[in-house]
Amino acid sequence: MAPDTVIASAARTRLDALWSRGCAFLGTRVAIMGGAMSWVSERHLVSAISNAGGFGVIACGSMGPELLAAEIAATQALTAQPFGVNLITMHPQLDDLVRVCLEARVGHIVLAGGIPPGSAVRAVKDGGAKLIAFAPALVLAKRLVRSGADALVIEGSEAGGHIGPVSLTVLAQEILPHIHDVPVFVAGGLGRGEAILAYLEMGASGVQLGTRFAATTESIAHANFKQAFVRAAARDALPSVQLDPRFPVIPVRGLANDGTARFLTHQAATLARFQSGELTKESAQLEIEHFWAGALRRAVIDGDVDTGSVMAGQSVGLVTSVQPVAEVIQEIVDQAVAALRARE
């Protein structure tokens, strides 16, 4: 065997060792989870990620039990590999959605959007599935592990969509040295193998990627949506702005466009109507929240990237072309292996 081949083989063995815990937990060849992106993380993308050796995750979002059951069945028809389902803890039919997942023998259930209620945690555990939860701080990470989470995701503010206030760089330093009982997956702003390698060496068991997968060949997102990713730089992916603390705006990171500019104007006009007495505080809050209703679907499905919500993480600057999922995963693995080889 040629020396370079030996070094490459040794480097890949080292990478496999670094994320072996994550691979064992997910049942995959590489410990790369797909982020759950509404309208994007459906059967085609999820199965493509799993078939390429990663771990696809269906974004249930606002689906009801029947729609979710159909999506799970359709995904199972496209892949025999493991995949998970992401459920929003605030969903009014959460218990029914958990039941649907268990009946379909989904092995991993992700509970996102808040602290998982005890009833859902018990149902997942009693049903034999593995529970994955999001931990935005060390104190909550410890609490989630005590309550029964089998794995955690720590997602930094660099991520797309709904975000917390802390970067992955800080979260990783806060959480990874102290959580050892369960695998921890890192997310937010990741797009290259060298960066992923650094977090694995800090103690992460794997990663979760969303933005890079959103612009892949298998993603059902509109061509306009994907090309917006290709054209964008990291600085174009900005969090939504809140004008008045009396009217909270949940931070959402996406590409700045006419829609984001109009949202500021809409907030200002709504505040003026509230101050004049035309709207109650509750009505004004609803007016602000309803602005983006349907906007994500307009961008992803209809291709309206001017007024729609083009959710994207800061890693969008690393998207330079529309690639097949398998190519993205292989590229990331090759980058991590190359970084390990460079140390030899």
pLDDT band at 80 (very low <50, low <70, confident <90, very high): very high
Residue 2 has pLDDT above 70, yes or no: no
What is the pLDDT, as a whole number, of residue 4?
55
Q: For 93-195, where are the E strands, in sequence order?
A: 108-112, 130-134, 151-155, 161-162, 184-187
Report the DSSP pairing between strands 206-209 and 184-187: parallel
Listed residue (137, 141, 139, 157) closest to 149, CA to CA: 141
- The pLDDT tens digits of the residues spanning 175-223 come to 999 999 999 999 999 999 999 999 999 999 999 999 999 999 999 999 9
Task: State residue 250's pLDDT score.
Answer: 87
Portion of the chain with pLDDT greater than 70, in percent: 98
- What are the structure tokens assigned to 8, written together? 């490459």
Taken in order of first residue, the domains within the chain and their CATH numbers are: 3-221+318-341 (3.20.20.70), 233-311 (no CATH)
pLDDT in the model for residue 126: 97
Quick: pLDDT tens for 85-127.
999 999 999 999 999 999 999 999 999 999 999 999 999 999 9
Beta bridge partners of 111: 87, 133
Q: pLDDT band for position 328 (50/70/90)?
A: very high
Residue 161 Rama label (left phi>0; alpha psi -120 to 50; beta): left
The answer to whether 310 and 255 have CB atoms below 8 angstroms apart is: yes
Quickly state the pLDDT bin for 284 (edges 50, 70, 90). very high
Would you say residue 6 has pLDDT above 80?
A: no
Predicted pLDDT at 167: 98
Half-sphere exposure of 182 (CA within 13 A, CB side): 25
pLDDT at residue 278 in the model: 95
219-236 pLDDT, tens digit each: 999 999 999 999 999 999
Length of the chain: 344
pLDDT in tens, 28-68: 999 999 999 999 999 999 999 999 999 999 999 999 999 99
**From 75-79, 137-141, 292-296, the region with the lowest mean pLDDT:** 292-296
